[in-house]
Amino acid sequence: MQIWRIVALVLALCSAPALAGELADFNAAVEAASAHSRVALGYLRTGNTDLASLELDRLRQSWRGLSERYAGKPPDAFVGNALYGPLFTTVNARLVAADLMLNAGRPDAAAQSLDGMRDDLYALRQASGVTVLADCVRDVNKAIEPLMTYNDRALDWSQSPTRYGIAGSAAIYQHELERCDAMASEAVRASPEFRRLIDGAKAGLALIPKAVATRDGDLLHRILIELRSFDNLLAFRFG
């Protein structure tokens, strides 16, 4: 019996890296497709529909290759995930819709289809307990919204819920930023672009206590506008 225990242990040790590699390969393929989606979204939002169309073509090609490899063979992390099978049909439909809307002169609707693809992938990974940097960035993008409700020069600073609300929302946003910074790969974390966005946002957040203490609505407005810019760029490049 001892020999079989040894064999089982060896097989387990050998299969674990293979399974991890399988998921890593899938995540890398999804990220390659998502990168095209982010660029297409950037062009759509700046009105450059010709370049958006080219990037949509690249996205479709990338997604086709991913589908051929993984649609019928999920990584072990997604086995039993009810969202996995429908994902490929749903994303295909979103890509068709994005193309139709773009050709119909409705770039806003095309962008909504691509945003939907991002949501589909997020939901899939959440259901299986898989987290990637793009999902963390999506959480960051959500976390800034409560803070942005205070982007009003006419804030009533005499109200303590206003002051505490700003401080609390800023703390939550900073926590999400730091979580993304911690989970990014070493190469991404060290890249000048990532550092500029993360560190720039943190620097802005560090000024919020001064704005609250001095009840300076103009300063808070400038900080929030800059934070929104960093947040948009973070989503465009890494979300």
> pLDDT band for position 49 (50/70/90)?
very high
Q: Percentage of the chain with pLDDT > 90?
A: 82
Both tokens of 151, joined, read: 């982007």
pTM summary value: 0.79
- The 10s digit of each residue's pLDDT in 169-212 is 999 999 999 999 999 999 999 999 999 999 999 999 999 999 99
Q: Percentage of the chain with pLDDT > 70?
A: 91
Three-state secondary structure call for residue 104: coil
> pLDDT band for position 214 (50/70/90)?
very high
Buried b (16+ CB within 10 A) or exposed e, 130-161: bebbbbbbbbbbebbeebeebeeeebeeeeee
Residue closest to 33 by CA, chosen among 62, 7, 54: 62
Whole-angstrom distance, CA of residue 95 vs CA of residue 235: 20
- The 10s digit of each residue's pLDDT in 75-107 is 999 999 999 999 999 999 999 999 999 999 999
- The 10s digit of each residue's pLDDT in 122-144 is 999 999 999 899 999 999 999 99
The gap between the terminal CA atoms of the chain, to the nearest Å, is 51
Q: Per-residue DSSP letters for 134-185?
A: HHHHHHHHHHHHHHHTT--TT--TT-HHHHHHHHHHHHHHHHHHHHHHHHS-
